A and B are shown apart, each in its own frame.
Chain A
Amino acid sequence: MKIQTILAAGAMTVAAVAAQNAQAGAVLDGIKAKGFVQCGVNTGLPGFSAANAEGQWEGIDVDVCRATAAALLGDANSVQYTPLTAAQRFTALQSGEIDILSRNTTATTTRDAKLGLTFVGINYYDGQGFLIPKALGVSSATELDGATVCVEPGTTTELNLADYFRAKGMSFEPVVIENINEATAAFFSGRCDVYTTDASGLASIRTQMAENPDDYAILPEIISKEPLGPVVAQGDEQWSDVVRWAFTAMIEAEEYGVTMENVDDMKANSTNPGIQRLLGVTPGMGEALGLDEAWAYNIIKQVGNYGESYEKNVTAKLGLERGLNALWTDGGLQYAWPVR
């Protein structure tokens, strides 16, 4: 906690200085000059950002960076990745080591306001849940009084857990294990009754680590809100606009049904004014953002729309359905601001 306080204090000082010094467009100009986007990613979280067997970064967080590069530079591969730990991530952004942080980062008031950051969108709505063995005979988190809970230390997960049990007037016994492999091993060997982390993590642990996934269940209660999204440093609004709209274009494309496959056809033949605006058939959007008119076309052609990115990374790797991350028209929360 102490380290975090000191870090936060240091970060705030720098943020204040950085805000004064930053000139509009400094980051954007820097990226154009060097020819690539420097993107901070997780050191390894399957589905979000992880290296594949060929050492290439993949995941929905990685796709945000790729989309930004496609919009700004015309090539989704013009991205360099800096893997960062949770402790390093904000420093790296504030010191200018990276241009964009796309590392399953929860948007909160303190981070947005005090650390001098701008959250440009939410690319994954997550929340903390509980995984239990079905043999425990529990169907709701409210029945967990007195349970032994396996949890990773030093995360908001641990705090949320304590908050939840206190609010419900229940007691629990935490088993705090740093390493996720050991923590899950402890859970599956019966060392604790419950395992808690973000729901996306629980699903992948259940499907991939359990001997028999059907023996385990995720309880319906989600005890916290974890809106995860890409972040940039404050001070270059033009740059944060580019990232925001590059990400928005991915959702907008899914809403219009424009995919990697049919984007050329749509560009040539679609009579829908919204699609024409998005793909630059009707010019104006690119100019407004200071980008090439083909910005959104490049994103969809090279990275795909949000649904494709989700399917390819999250569903394929973690076996997770869309859930909260479905489009608003399908009962989810993903709702693109109109590109017009």
Chain B
Amino acid sequence: MSENAKSPPLPTGTFMERAVTWSKKNLFDGWFNTILTLGSIAFILWLVPPLVEWGIVNATLAPSIESCKEATGACWGFVNANLRLILFGTYPFDEQWRPLLAMIILMGIICGSLGGVKYAGVRKWIIPMWVIGVPIICILMWGGIFGLTYVQNSYWGGLPLTLILSSIGVIFAFPFGLLLALGRQSNMPAIKTVSVVYIEVIRGVPLITVLFMASVMFPLFLPDGVTIDKLLRAQIGIILFTAAYLAEVFRGGLQAVPRGQFEAGDSLALSYWQSMRLIVLPQALRLVIPPTVNSFISMFKDTTLVVIIGLFDFLGTVKLALRSDPAWTKYYVEGYAFAAAIFFLICFSMAKYSAYLEKELRKGEQR
């Protein structure tokens, strides 16, 4: 570590003296930095107090329109009164423990899988967890057996829907993207052409177009009486779209692996798949963790676009709640702030995990 090489002199003097020294060095170092510091302080003073006043001091949490009308600050009562609608959408009210439980199981599996990178004991459970967990989640969400009432997936909504769309999206887009990346690097012209055309076409259109095609145009081309589920169509659209982006991310990783590593695999008489699995991909994937997570984060946020095809993801249910009663409609700032907070929490966790993962996987290089 560079800090150890040139360790700074130990701080001396009273607390005040040290504070003055520190701020001189870090905040008022030259006229430019002084201006920046003062500007930032002014900005914070201008922004934070009114925000605190609005969001906390003058805000109300009481779930009634009357108390919101009286309050001069934020009306968190909107979120409070409609919390279950925001979290679970139009899922039948009495059955909402099912999406809640499904969501907890899904989060558990995801956390377990993520932890598996560090703990070998957990790692061997990753696949069984998914194999057992996913059917349980499906049963909970759909029902229809074990005395659970059947719930059409046009009733699914809110946070469970967002999590399902994005985690299923990740699970399928990842291998598909990997295959596309390998296909694009392939020596076989047919596979290469198909991969290149696919990637470029999908990358050339916005997700909203893919979803729109899947939900509005696609059903018109099916034979009469055949309908494919709306949610499934959206999910496939998201997978296909994300895979194309991931493929390019993975291609970057593959190209960064030195040629000699491929040749090493060949010289050991490993088959194509063996050398990919044992030598190339572990190195390539490790290199592209930041852009991969970047893709996942953007996909997670892109799931909000399903609102244009009438599915209520988490942001959609906030809008649904805003329209549940016209009296709530004017408190949309509070609703969107709540949604933003939840989205930030999830995306920030993903970013943090990716930083941790990078550090964890680089340990081999640091020795």
Contact = CB atoms under 8 A, between A and B. Distances in A.
Given A7-B217, A10-B220, A53-B81, A80 B152 contact: yes
Interface string A48-89: 001111111100000000000000000000001111110110
Interface residues of A, number: 45
Contacts of A56: 90, 93
Interface string A1-36: 001001100110110011001100000000000000
Given A81-B154, A208-B327, A88 B216 contact: yes
Q: In the complex, which of the residues A3, A17, A44 has the most CB atoms of chain B within 10 Å of its own CB atom?
A: A44
A317 interface: yes
A96 interface: yes
A95 B219 contact: yes
Contacts of A209: 329-330
B113 interface: no
Given A45-B323, A209-B330, A317-B325, A82 B230 contact: yes
Contacts of A80: 152, 154-155
A95 B227 contact: yes
Contacts of B217: 6-7, 10, 91
A interface SS class: mixed
Interface in A195-210: 204, 207-209
Given A46-B325, A55-B91, A91 B219 contact: yes
Interface in B93-117: 93, 96
A153 B235 CA distance: 28
Given A87-B212, A181-B332, A46 B225 contact: no
Residue from the set B81, B312, B326 with the largest chain A CB neighbour count within 10 Å: B326
Contact of A53 (B224, B307, B324): B324
A46 B326 contact: yes
Contact of B220 (A11, A45, A51): A11
A297 B223 CA distance: 39
A318 interface: yes
A97 interface: yes
A275 B182 CA distance: 74
A94 interface: yes
Given A53-B85, A317-B326, A83 B312 contact: yes
- Among B84, B154, B227, B322, the one with the most A-chain Cβ atoms within 10 Å of its Cβ is B154
Given A43-B310, A55-B84, A204-B326, A13 B90 contact: no
Interface string B65-108: 00000000000000001101100111111001000000000000
Nearest to A204: B326
- Name, among A55, A85, A91, A204, the residue most crowded by chain B CB atoms within 10 Å (CB to CB): A55
Interface string A79-119: 01111110110011011110000000000000000000000
Contacts of A45: 323
A44 B326 CA distance: 10
A193 B323 CA distance: 25
B310 A83 contact: yes
B301 interface: no
B329 A96 contact: no
B84 A97 contact: no
B84 A318 contact: no
Contacts of A87: 212, 216, 308
Most buried by B among A7, A51, A209: A51
A122 B312 CA distance: 28
Contact of B324 (A51, A81, A85, A95): A51
Nearest to B219: A95
Contacts of B310: 43, 82-85, 88
B311 to A, nearest CB: 8
A21 B223 CA distance: 10
Contact of A88 (B215, B222, B227): B215
B220 A13 contact: yes
B309 interface: yes
A94 B220 contact: yes
B320 A43 contact: yes
B178 to A, nearest CB: 33
Contacts of A21: 224-225
Contacts of A92: 219
Contacts of B222: 95
A52 B220 contact: no
A274 B54 CA distance: 60
B323 A54 contact: no
Interface of A: 3, 6-7, 10-11, 13-14, 17-18, 21-22, 43-47, 50-57, 80-85, 87-88, 91-92, 94-97, 181, 204, 207-209, 317-318
8 contacts: A17-B224, A22-B224, A46-B323, A46-B326, A55-B91, A55-B93, A83-B310, A97-B227
Closest 3 CB pairs of A and B: A44-B323, A95-B219, A208-B326
Given A10-B217, A50-B324, A82-B230, 15 more contacts: A21-B225, A43-B312, A43-B319, A51-B324, A54-B85, A80-B152, A80-B154, A80-B155, A91-B215, A91-B219, A95-B227, A97-B227, A204-B326, A208-B326, A318-B326
